[in-house]
Structure 1
Amino acid sequence: MEKELSNVKSTYTVLDLFKTPVMCKTACCTMLVWFSTSFAYYGLATDLQGFGVDIYLIQVIFGAVDIPAKFVGILSLSYMGRRFTQGASLILAGSIVIINNFVPHDLTTLRTSLAVVGKGCLANAFSCCYLYSGELYPTVVRQTAMGLVTTMARLGAMIAPVVKMIGDSVSFLPMVIYGGMALFTGTLTFLLRETLNTPLPDTIEDVEGSG
């Protein structure tokens, strides 16, 4: 009861996310994960006309792939864990985006198929972000942290079209950047702790103790 009362009396700010080692690592990693997921997701979505397929058809396919992707995500989150699902989704998406960038343009079916799989992986990663990030942070700063990481996602969405403009000078560079960011942060995810079947932390001390 004394512990609960002390938590109620304390006030926390966004700075508390960076004052202790484990919290700082968690905050930095999740910020980058949210940024790159949104960055790659919207970067891929803005290049629909580059696949040589009817733009309306590819829009329908890109939207429909989210449904099976999220079902696969549910199974993976439940049985393989949050960290693996988050990291594997980003690494797979990043790899596909980079590989697809160097597939000949006349192979439209292959390029479209790879792009759809990559988009599905990013949709899965996005769904995982919400669940995984919420479980990583303690109750006292959970909403503050979620506000911070979702802001990073919006920042990624804003920067993605700007990076796309680089393609006017170097055609392959935007997709390499999108895929490279996803690969990097997917690897970074494995620095975080697994939260499957573990109790949610209530205080910053709980997170530091489990770090």
Structure 2
Amino acid sequence: MSPCQRWFSESARWLVLNGRSEEALKRLQHVAKINGKPEMAEKITLEVLESHMQKEVQSSKKMYTALDLMKTPTMRKISMCLMFVWFSTSFAYYGLAMDLQKFGVNIYLMQVIFGAVDFPAKLIALLMLSFLGRRLTQGLCLLVSASVIFANIFVPKDMQFTRTALAVIGKGFTSSSFTCVYLFTGELYPTVIRQTGMGFVSTMSRIGSMAAPAVLILDEIMPALPSIIYGGSAVIAGLIAFLLPETLNIPLPETIEDVECTFHSYREKKKQSLQEQTQNESLTLQDFKQDGGKYEENKSHLHPLSENPVQIKE
């Protein structure tokens, strides 16, 4: 046994799919004991493991291709949205990073600053992902990045410090967008086609990075045109990000059917909660009207000059 095998266990899912269920059971029981939950190790049996993995075993017999990313409605919506989000994130990121000379600062110093801003940007992104959710974080990062790019258009060229500070902030938010979209994509795509999906959208990211330098040529036509294109792309992508389903505190999908069922039921629950909220508000309004009518009816029995709700005896 190599040192790596002592610390890293083989995936239990992979073992079950390859007909090594007993080995997978031992691995899971060992992990449960390491996590301080020996009672869970006793509950996990071979029958329980195979019953929970039955759907995955059936799905593993089917071969999936990139075409499966577009076959079903929810998968098609997710893939189309992620294509543009990945493209625009990379497009704006490299557009800012490759146009350092226009800020009038030493390009080597700017490169260091642009690299250093990634550390706090990624920490902020992780906090936002935990508290605000994936969809809101993705959309906000792209929209704030776009607003900073647009703001830099109107800053005079002699205010180099302000222009540089805005560029660094924009670069930070595009970096946060990259952090978010990597995590978001992995949670949206199911296990059976996750790597195919990641490769597909990453290709769009590479296309965005290749297109970014070509846009810089347009400054000969109009100096602000590259910034308008970078910012406009980020705005569109930020709005498209809000069309994606939220994945915070939702189990990872294993199959394409899980994606369709999970996010469809999520939308149905959201609609149901909105309907219940509307019904509760209407009931509250009806109760208020009824109470108001009773109050007016009781008030009619009071003496007209009396403010105390006690009837005046004749």
Match of 1:113 among 165, 168, 172: 165
How many Å separate the matches in 1 of 2:209 and 2:179? Answer: 16
Letter in 2 for 1:120: G
Match of 2:91 among 10, 31, 39: 39
- Three-state SS of the structure 2 residue aligned to 1:127 is helix
Please provide the CA RMSD for this pair.
Answer: 1.0
How many Å separate the matches in 1 of 2:253 and 2:115? Answer: 36
Superposition deviation, residue 5 in structure 1: 2.4
Superposition deviation, residue 74 in structure 1: 1.1
Asked if 1:67 is matched to 2:109, the reply is: no
Corresponding residue for residue 196 of structure 1: 248
* Post-superposition CA distance 1:96-146 (Å, at most 9, x none): 101112211111111111111000000100111111100001111100000
- Three-state SS of the structure 2 residue aligned to 1:195 is coil
* Identity rate, percent: 57
- Who wins on radius of gyration, i.e. which is larger? 2
Asked if 1:140 is matched to 2:192, the reply is: yes
- Three-state SS of the structure 2 residue aligned to 1:143 is helix
Letter in 2 for 1:87: G
How many Å separate the matches in 2 of 1:4 and 1:170? Answer: 55
- Three-state SS of the structure 2 residue aligned to 1:191 is coil
Asked if 1:104 is matched to 2:156, the reply is: yes
Asked if 1:149 is matched to 2:201, the reply is: yes
How many Å separate the matches in 2 of 1:4 and 1:145? Answer: 18
- Three-state SS of the structure 1 residue aligned to 2:223 is coil
Match of 1:122 among 169, 174, 188: 174
User: Where do 5+ consecutive residues of structure 1 fail to align?
Assistant: none
Write the mapping of 1:153-172 to structure 2, written as runs, cut at 5 A: 153-172=205-224
* Post-superposition CA distance 1:68-98 (Å, at most 9, x none): 1111111111111111111100000011101
Higher relative contact order (CA 8 A, sep 6+): 1
Corresponding residue for residue 40 of structure 2: none
TM-score normalized by the length of structure 2? 0.66
How many Å separate the matches in 1 of 2:64 and 2:186? Answer: 17
Corresponding residue for residue 57 of structure 1: 109
Letter in 1 for 2:103: F
TM-score normalized by the length of structure 1? 0.97
Corresponding residue for residue 128 of structure 2: 76
Task: State the aligned residue count.
Answer: 211
